[in-house]
Amino acid sequence: MIEPLRLSFVVECPVDHAFAVWTARTSSWWPVTHTVTGETGLSVVFEGRPGGRIFERTPAGVEVEWGEITVWEPPRRLGYRWHIRADRADATDVEITFAEESSARTRVDIEHRGWERLGSRGPTWRDVNRGGWDGVLPYFRAACEGARLRE
């Protein structure tokens, strides 16, 4: 078994806001450098239901799938199969919980697992994804807390 990536941090906002920023306002914070097309003005869409797609849509309407939602329990829990820039058969699993620490603080716990599906590529792909998380999470945190980071 390849050890899952586990990340945990606190954002200074209510739990429902943190969930909404992650799922409904993704386009406002997800860096274009971490998309497939890299096009300015694209939208990131979470279809809010189990079986719903996660995808980017360019201004021209081109859609590129990133994953599929497996757990949809707003505002506490979200799970999805993640295959951005990979074959759907090589999808890994992401589970995120949003736990209220106070009315204005939320703990976010992320577990990203399933690297075994990738065979010998698993450990390297895990490391690549660690870098990916490190690249996007500061933007999420800033969006939750009302700040704006520059790309």
The 3-state DSSP composition of the chain as helix, strand, coil percent (nearest 5) reads 30, 35, 35
Looking at domain 5-144, its CATH superfamily turns out to be START domain (3.30.530.20)
124 contacts 27 by C-beta, under 8 angstroms: no
Residues 12-33 have a mean pLDDT of: 96
Q: What is the pLDDT of residue 81?
A: 98
Tens digit of each residue's pLDDT (9 = 90 or more) over 80-115: 999 998 889 899 999 999 999 999 999 999 999 999
Average pLDDT score, the chain = 95
pTM: 0.94
Domain locations along the chain:
5-144
